[in-house]
Amino acid sequence: MSTAEMCLFNVKDGFLEGVVRGYKLGLLTAADYNNLSQCENLEDIKLYLTGTDYAQYVSNEAGPLHTTTLVECCTRKLVDDWEYLRQNASEPLGTFLDYCTFGHMIDNIVLIVTGTLHERDVQELLDKCNPLGVFDAIATLAVAQNMRDLYRLVLVDTPLAPYFSEHLTSEDLDEMNIEVLRNTLYKAYLDDFAGLCGRLGGATHQVMGDLLAFEADRRALNITLNSIGTELTRDDRRRLYANFGLLYPNGQNELALAEDFDQIRAAMEKCPPYQAIFSKLGAGESVMLDKVLYEEEAKRAMQTFEQQFHYGVFYSYMRLREQEIRNIMWIAECVAQGQKGRINDGIVPLF
């Protein structure tokens, strides 16, 4: 980090950095999760949450509680926090914050298109969308019959337009192609985001570079795992991996050739940081992989708060809050179904 960065960062972004660090102080700790696991029913969970930062969001919930309403309240807090940050941000922080939400936009698009394929009600789908990733014309996604319409009617006006290449618009919308669409858009988005962080330079580039590299490698791993045994050719699979990350390019070449979990594991373990992750799994076990990856992400996100004067803290806060909401959902489900013994299997404590 240069002196100029340290001296000039606070001119535009000092206040919001302080605000986001304040938000991070309100994340639930391991002690909170312990207490939540002791709750007998959802009412107890709601009561406990009124003693945390969620107080004003959860306390107004009247009527019978479901896990979905609880999770909705918590998500509303994240959305309000993010809105506050976004409204008060000047450039280039504003662009950066927008980029953080493009991943959610892509997920929402895929959700609506898939739901429409299965003849679901548009309103129901819109309710399920991630609120961080909504944009104005999102409801018109349900009208699109094929990719060309999708692009021409809706996506060309969104920030995702440049991620659509010519090669994509000629395909039809079906199950397989929608997943390929999702991953192609996400690859272009990650490359673009990495480019933005490179242009911002300094500590932001350093910190975000690490976080995005992990995200790229993690998606490469998941794409490979999910495409074993499908019709996705090796070349297509290789094209879905991002153009950066620790696995680029040699690890990705090996991953593209892998046909089962052990080959994937062998390819990943050639990278020292990922070897440490995989050593936590037993032999041949892929069930715990998700949880281990979430733990790694949470650990890296917490580490970004050790440096000051960079934008990585905003991205990390979003990821940590999302992880916390996933934890609350897991705990609420376990409590509602009476399976409190399984709580520790699913939560990722942040502190």
Partner 1 sequence: MVFIWFVDVTYLFFLFQNISPYFWSSLGIALCVGLSVVGAAWGIFITGSSLMGAAQRVPRITSKNLISIIFCEAVAIYGVIVAIILQTKVEAVKPRDDGSYSLAAANAGYAILGAGSVTGWANLACGLSVGIVGSSAALSDAANATLFVKILVVEIFASALGLFGVIIGIIMAGNANFVGA
Q: Minimum distance from CB of 307 to partner 1 (Å)?
A: 10
Q: Cβ closer to partner 1: 6 or 266? A: 6
C-alpha–C-alpha distance, residues 50 and 58, integer Å: 6
Q: Minimum distance from CB of 48 to partner 1 (Å)?
A: 20
Question: Of the listed pieces 4-12, 71-79, 142-150, 207-215, which binds partner 1 according to CB under 8 A?
Answer: 4-12
Q: Cβ closer to partner 1: 6 or 30? A: 6
Q: Are 272 and 329 in contact (CB under 8 A)?
A: no
Our finding on whether 198 is near partner 1 (CB under 8 A) is no
Q: Are 112 and 125 in contact (CB under 8 A)?
A: yes
3-state secondary structure (DSSP) of residue 33: helix
Q: Are 254 and 227 in contact (CB under 8 A)?
A: no
Among 21, 128, 152, 199, binds partner 1 (CB under 8 A): 21
The amino acid at 204 = T
Q: Minimum distance from CB of 14 to partner 1 (Å)?
A: 3
Closest CA to 32 of 324, 336, 333: 324
The amino acid at 163 = Y
C-alpha–C-alpha distance, residues 78 and 253, integer Å: 38
Q: Cβ closer to partner 1: 53 or 297? A: 53
Our finding on whether 51 is near partner 1 (CB under 8 A) is no
Our finding on whether 6 is near partner 1 (CB under 8 A) is yes
State the DSSP code for 260: S
- One symbol per residue from 294 to 333: x for binding partner 1 (CB under 8 A), - otherwise; what is it? --------------x-------------------------
# of chain residues touching partner 1 (CB under 8 A): 17
C-alpha–C-alpha distance, residues 256 and 139, integer Å: 36
Our finding on whether 351 is near partner 1 (CB under 8 A) is no
Residues that bind partner 1 (CB under 8 A): 6-7, 10-11, 14-23, 25-26, 308
